[in-house]
Structures are given as C-alpha cells and as structure tokens.
Amino acid sequence: MKFLFDFFPVALFFVAYKLADIFVATMVAMAASVAQVAWTWFRHRRTENTQVITLILVVVLGGATLWLKDPLFIKWKPTLVNGLFALAFLLSHFIGEKTIVERMMGHALTLPAAIWRKVNLSWVAFFTAMGLANLYVVYSFDEATWVNFKLFGILGLTFAFVLLQGVFLGRFVKPDTEVEQSKER
C-alpha cells in the first residue's frame, strides 16, 4: 500500500498531462508532493527521507520547468532521484554497520552479511539503470512517450525488480519448522 501511496504524485502528474499539458502536470505533481509529505507528517508526526528528497527535487525542478518554460527540468527528476538513491545505497556499504537494505528488511529476514551486500548492490544497479533508462527515454522519444514511461515503465520495472528480489531472497528463508527446530537446540 505504501508503494502505491508513493506513486500518488506520479499518477496525478500522468492524469493532468493527459487532460492538459506538461506545465499543468508539473504544478499538479508539485501540489501532490506537498500534500503527500504533509499528510505523512500529520498522520505519523514524521516523514520519510525519500519523500522529502523527492519533494525538494519536484519543487526545485518543477519550479525551474515552470519559470523557464522548459520541461527538460522536470524530465530529469527521476534520474536525479534514482541517482541519489543509488549513491545512498552504495555509501551504506562504507558508512555504518549495516547496508540500507539490511536496515529496512533485517527485522524480517536473517541473512549473512555477504547476501545483504549483494542485495544492496543490486538496488544500486537498479537505481542506476532506472536513472539511465529515464535519460534514454527523455532524449530518444517524444514527451508523451516519456510521460507514459514515467508512470507505466518505471512502475512496471520496479514491480518486476521487487519480484525478482523476492525470488532471490526466498532461497534464504527457512520454513517455520526449521526455525523452531533450530531454536530448540
């Protein structure tokens, strides 16, 4: 559910683009991002770093798009967001005792450190690939194709990647009977 909530501004951007143009869609995305972060703050009394980073980039790049009447700024947002995430995941190999993936999923899975590193590096590769894919679409296709890719392509590729991660991690999950037997020893 949280994953879909995070795509709320993107979905509204898509609808606004289909009904109007890139500039209206940019204003809608900016407003939706502000509303999303405000809702999270009022509901939980905290916000997530990913939401704040995305909000800052939407406001700055969206503002530049509107002010300069150049949609290229907002088109770069997915690349910059993915690049920042890739950098953060990569730096977590060197800063702190656990990678970001282990911090996020360590409560649900017990894995050797080497596996956590592989999973974390796969996210670095995924975020990097998504950023590069966005640039490819921005510079190789028309605006309407980019808008479709922004919603359907990025969402679909993310779902596929998460599914593959689940298959990979599933190999390391022990059935409940094995867990109980190891606790009894």
Q: What is the pLDDT of residue 21?
A: 97
For 72, the token pair is 């290229």
Other CB atoms closer than 10 Å to residue 185's CB: what's the count?
4
Minimum mean pLDDT range among 23-27, 98-102, 142-146: 98-102
Q: Please write the tens of the pLDDT for every residue from 11-30.
A: 999 999 999 999 999 999 99
Mean pLDDT calculated for residue range 147-162? 95
DSSP 8-state secondary structure symbol assigned to residue 69: T
Q: Please write the tens of the pLDDT for every residue from 72-98.
A: 999 999 999 999 999 999 999 999 889
DSSP 8-state secondary structure symbol assigned to residue 150: I
Contact 61, 76 (CB under 8 A): yes
Mean pLDDT calculated for residue range 125-143? 98
Q: Is the pLDDT of residue 178 over 70?
A: no
For 66, the token pair is 């509107």
How confident is the prediction for the chain on average, in pLDDT? 91
Other CB atoms closer than 10 Å to residue 181's CB: what's the count?
11
Q: What is the pLDDT of residue 4?
A: 59
Instruction: Decide: residue 176, CB within 10 A, 0-12 exposed, 13-18 middle, 19+ buried.
Output: exposed
Q: What is the pLDDT of residue 179?
A: 47
Q: Please write the tens of the pLDDT for every residue from 52-69.
A: 999 999 999 999 999 999
Q: Is the pLDDT of residue 185 over 80?
A: no
Query: Can you give the pTM of this predicted structure?
Result: 0.86
Q: What is the pLDDT of residue 30?
A: 96
Q: What is the pLDDT of residue 99?
A: 94
**Residue-wise burial string across 15-53, b where 16 or more C-beta atoms lie within 10 A, e elsewhere:** ebbeeeebbebbbbbbebbeebbeebeeeeeeeeeebee
Mean pLDDT calculated for residue range 44-53? 90
